[in-house]
């Protein structure tokens, strides 16, 4: 009897302990029995899912009353605690739940440091049957990222023709949006894609378009983004009308004069990982310019400390892009019976752009007499990989001159350029017969010695770029191709 009594007592105590444990899952500090309202807290969703330090974060909570509950419940409070037990936020009077119902609540918080943050969400409900309070909880871990404010700006020079469709019509702003470009800002063409009152073709959609891509590489939103473009002349660039003397052979002959200043233009906010592509039209631009595009912005975290849009990102692009590359080939330099020197060569275009209004002349150098003003040799238009023959007479003191500079002036995309190429001067030789003496043919920039190449050589492009157009009469004989045919 004693043994039987002991086993019965032990079994009863185990059953009571199990019942108390089950009840503890639904009630805190209350009755040991299973509550009539079976309240649960679902998965906690954070928005944004990976918040940054200082970023206001929403915790979306769903509280449910199981369909098997014996009672309804009134959810009186939902709160969130940190790992130390401190209440970070709470909401009261959430609502009533019948069996099988659920409701949503949103809690807000922010984090001072990066790393994994363990939070506990609690829901408190009052049971309709007994009036007792039930508290249930659920833990969640949120990974907090450090704040990184970073905006990357990318620029690319375009030709106005790039904004036309395959059939030659102008692209509208809507069409640009389909291609990922959100709009066109500034300039002379603007967004006017009409037919100019039915008279001829419509004006170009942009005079000098530059594609600008704004990329948010940070961890927080770039807010109040605005773009501004400022350009200064380079390569001693003068106007297409011939104003502004080119700095021949300098490479950095620009006078730094401001050529364009457009903006600011407002761009949409850019979220982390997103990008915005727009066209900034620089307007009418007749001088080659280094254009700096600046994006001013602020991070969304700056709003709390009233910081303005004083953060910046920059990118520089040269406009217009130079695609024509003049070169002198198959050059021979010979002396005539009267002691003059004649340069017989081809002017070629080794680039992909079109050269128009090309003119060649002999430049000034020690021992070399330059071509008189107004007597340049007019070549005309040279497309990509095209060439035209020319001959230029000059006077050369062979004992002083090593090289003869050949000035090539041309227009590309409305901008006038002057470049200086060189050929070698004839070597002084007392035994040479008058007439027919073949000079040394050189390659390289101004000041470089030419190499003997049996009278024929490829003359390289000097690093010098200037911009000037001689006024007056264009002289010289009719251009010809190297095979003797007319251009």
Residue from 105, 108, 73 nearest 92 by CA:
105
Q: What is the pLDDT of residue 291?
A: 95
pLDDT tens track, the chain, 487 positions:
333 444 444 454 455 444 444 443 444 444 445 667 788 999 999 998 888 888 889 999 999 988 887 788 889 999 999 999 999 999 999 889 888 889 999 999 999 899 999 999 999 988 877 888 889 999 999 999 888 888 999 999 988 777 765 555 555 444 444 345 677 887 543 333 333 344 444 445 788 899 999 999 988 888 889 999 999 988 644 444 433 334 333 334 456 688 999 999 998 899 889 999 999 999 888 788 999 999 999 887 776 667 777 899 999 999 988 889 999 999 998 888 887 889 999 999 998 889 999 999 999 999 999 988 888 999 999 999 999 999 999 998 878 888 999 999 998 877 888 889 999 888 776 554 444 334 433 333 333 333 322 222 223 323 333 333 322 233 333 344 444 444 4
d(CA 384, CA 412): 12
For residue 53, give the 3-state DSSP assignment: coil
**Tokens read off for 175:** 């069409």
Q: What is the pLDDT of residue 429?
A: 62
Delineate the domains of the chain, giving CATH numbers in brackets. 35-144 (2.60.40.2550), 151-314 (no CATH), 326-466 (2.60.40.10)
DSSP for 152-217, written as a single string = EEEEEE--GGGGB-TTSPBPPHHHHHHTTEEEEESTTTTT--S-GGGSSSPPPS-SSEEEEEEEE-
Q: What is the pLDDT of residue 33?
A: 54
For residue 68, give the 3-state DSSP assignment: coil
d(CA 95, CA 314): 53
DSSP for 337-398, written as a single string = TTS-EEEEEEEEE-SSSPEEEEEEEE--BTTBPPPPTT-PEEEEEE-TT-EEEEEEEE-B-T
């Amino acid at each position: 009897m004693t043994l039987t009594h002991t086993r019965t007592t032990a079994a009863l105590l185990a059953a009571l302990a199990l019942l108390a444990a089950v009840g503890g899952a639904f009630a805190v500090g209350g009755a040991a029995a299973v509550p009539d309202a079976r309240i649960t807290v679902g998965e906690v969703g954070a928005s944004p899912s990976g918040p940054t330090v200082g970023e206001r974060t929403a915790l979306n909570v769903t509280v449910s009353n199981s369909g098997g509950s014996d009672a309804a419940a009134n959810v009186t409070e939902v709160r969130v605690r940190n790992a130390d037990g401190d209440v970070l936020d709470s909401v009261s009077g959430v609502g009533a739940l019948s069996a099988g119902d659920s409701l949503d609540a949103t809690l807000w918080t922010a984090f001072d440091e990066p790393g994994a943050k363990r939070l506990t969400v609690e829901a408190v409900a009052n049971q309709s049957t007994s009036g007792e309070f039930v508290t249930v909880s659920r833990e969640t871990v949120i990974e907090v990222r450090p704040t990184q404010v970073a905006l990357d700006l990318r620029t690319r020079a375009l030709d106005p023709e790039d904004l036309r469709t395959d059939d030659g019509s102008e692209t509208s702003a809507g069409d640009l949006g389909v291609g990922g470009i959100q709009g066109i800002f500034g300039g002379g063409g603007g967004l006017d894609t009409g037919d100019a009152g039915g008279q001829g073709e419509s004006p170009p959609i942009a005079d000098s378009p530059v594609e600008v891509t704004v990329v948010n590489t940070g961890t927080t939103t770039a807010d109040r983004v605005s773009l501004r473009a400022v350009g200064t002349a380079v390569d001693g660039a003068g106007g297409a009308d011939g104003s502004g003397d080119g700095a021949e052979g300098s490479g950095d002959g620009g006078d730094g004069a401001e050529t364009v200043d457009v903006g600011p233009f407002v761009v949409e906010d850019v979220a982390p990982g997103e990008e915005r592509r727009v066209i900034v039209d620089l307007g009418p631009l007749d001088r080659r310019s280094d254009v700096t595009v600046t994006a001013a912005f602020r991070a969304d975290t700056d709003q709390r400390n009233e910081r303005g849009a004083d953060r910046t990102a920059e990118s520089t692009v040269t406009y217009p892009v130079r695609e024509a590359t003049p070169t002198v080939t198959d050059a021979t330099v010979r002396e005539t019976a009267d002691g003059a020197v004649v340069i017989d060569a081809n002017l070629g275009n080794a680039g992909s752009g079109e050269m128009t209004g090309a003119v060649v002349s002999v430049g000034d150098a020690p021992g070399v007499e330059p071509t008189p003003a107004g007597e340049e040799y007019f070549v005309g238009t040279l497309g990509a990989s095209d060439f035209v023959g020319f001959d230029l007479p000059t006077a050369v003191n062979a004992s002083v001159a090593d090289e003869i500079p050949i000035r090539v002036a041309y227009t590309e995309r409305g901008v006038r350029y002057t470049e200086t190429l060189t050929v070698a001067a004839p070597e002084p030789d007392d035994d040479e017969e008058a007439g027919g003496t073949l000079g040394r043919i050189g390659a390289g920039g101004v000041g470089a010695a030419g190499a003997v190449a049996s009278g024929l050589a490829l003359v390289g492009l000097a690093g010098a770029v200037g911009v000037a157009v001689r006024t007056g009469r264009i002289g010289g004989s009719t251009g010809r191709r190297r095979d003797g045919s007319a251009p």
